[in-house]
Amino acid sequence: MATRKPAAKKSAAKKPAAKKPAAKKKTAKKPRLVCGLCGMQVIIDKACGCAEAHPLICCGKPMASR
């Protein structure tokens, strides 16, 4: 009869290092305009810097800031 060798122990699989959550970036609140009739919203990414205001018109009326 042939003798069996004991099964070799499998090495424990190494777990990948836990990733740290990404740091949240602080974002400045951007101006948001909302139409009072239809509810469409506009976010201003970059203001033009003009001295006078430029109203955005939707549904025939200027949009209000939210």
> For the segment 50-66, what is each residue's pLDDT rounded down to a tens digit?
888 888 999 999 999 88
- C-alpha 33/C-alpha 39 separation (Å) is 10
Question: Which are the contacts of 51, defined by CB distance < 8 A and separation ≥ 6?
Answer: none
Handedness of CA 13, 15, 16, 17 (dihedral sign): negative
> For the segment 25-52, what is each residue's pLDDT rounded down to a tens digit?
766 788 899 999 999 999 988 888 888 8
> Is this model's pTM higher than 0.85 or not?
no
Q: Give yes or no for a contact between 32 and 44, defined as CB atoms under 8 angstroms apart.
A: yes
CA separation, residue 44 to residues 22, 31, 65 (Å): 26, 5, 10
